[in-house]
Structure 1
Amino acid sequence: MVQFFRELFDYNLECNQKLAQMIVSLQEQLPEKVIGLYSHILDAHQIWNNRIHAREKTFGVWQIHDTTDFINLDLKNYRHSLSILESSDLTQVINYKNSTGRHFNSSIRDIIFHVINHSTYHRAQIAIEFRQNNLDPLMTDYIMMKR
């Protein structure tokens, strides 16, 4: 299971890194919503990592980042996730509070799957924004990476 999640995080990293490069190169042509959505991908990933294994001050849920920081923040999230995969019992249930202060319990396995799924969801929203601005979106289908 760890190897499968590692592959998913590799996929997530590849997509996010390419998308970050596109955003930086096309920034003048993109609506602010794209910056907000990509920042949110980074924020949520870092927040979930910190819920499992706190390392640093947690980002805000919709904290906006400078596009020049996108690549490094994504790499930092990726490395933290791999560290969690290598050092955790994925069936372990952790207790955490969400952004509104409600308490929940989830397995590490479910949380790390959520991180991947959440990123995919918001990359799709970014793809729509690209299309609405007459730009070709990045192809980020998982199966295309596996081919």
Structure 2
Amino acid sequence: MKDFFKTLFEYNHSCNHKMITLLAETPEAYSERAQTLLSHTFNAQHIWNSRILATQPHYGVWHLFERDELGEINDAHYAESLSILANQHLDLTVSYVNTRGEFFENSIQDILYHVINHSTYHRGQIMSELKLQGVSPIATDYIFYRRTNTPML
């Protein structure tokens, strides 16, 4: 199971990298909505990683990143997620309080799957936003990633 999650996080990191590259090539497309959604995606991964590691997150759900910060943030969160995969048991339960003050418990496996699903959802929203800005969307579907069997970097 850990190998599968490692592949999912490689996919997630690679798609994020492609999106960051696209935004660097078309800076006019980094609209307020694209910035909000992409920042939120990175913030959420960091917050979930922090919950698993029982540490305080460095920033909140809606912290905004500048375009030139995105690559470093993507790499840091990817490394953090891989460290969790290497050092944690996926069936362990994590207790946490969400941003609304509600208490929950979930397995690390469920949390990590949620992180990937959440990222995929928001990447789709960002691609729709970029299309509205006149930018041709890029393929970030999992199956496209697996067909090449190599990272999309």
> With structure 1 as the length reference, what TM-score do the two structures score?
0.95
- Alignment partner of 1:88 is 2:88: yes
Number of the residue aligned with 1:20: 20
Deviation of the 1:30 alpha carbon: 3.8
Deviation of the 1:18 alpha carbon: 1.0
Amino acid at match of 2:105: N
Deviation of the 1:58 alpha carbon: 3.0
> Using the alignment, how far apart are the partners of 1:81 and 1:104 within structure 2?
20
The percent identity for this pair of structures is 40
Q: Secondary structure at the match of 2:26?
A: helix
> Using the alignment, how far apart are the partners of 2:3 and 2:47 within structure 1?
23
| Structure 1, gaps ≥5 residues long | none
Q: Secondary structure at the match of 1:38?
A: helix
Number of the residue aligned with 1:63: 63
> Using the alignment, how far apart are the partners of 1:20 and 1:142 within structure 2?
17
Number of the residue aligned with 1:129: 129
> Using the alignment, how far apart are the partners of 1:137 and 1:125 within structure 2?
11
Deviation of the 1:56 alpha carbon: 5.6
Aligned residue pairs, count:
147
> With structure 2 as the length reference, what TM-score do the two structures score?
0.92
> Which structure exhibits the higher relative contact order, with contacts defined as CA atoms closer than 8 Å and separated by 6 or more residues?
2
Q: Calculate the aligned-residue CA RMSD, in Å.
A: 1.2
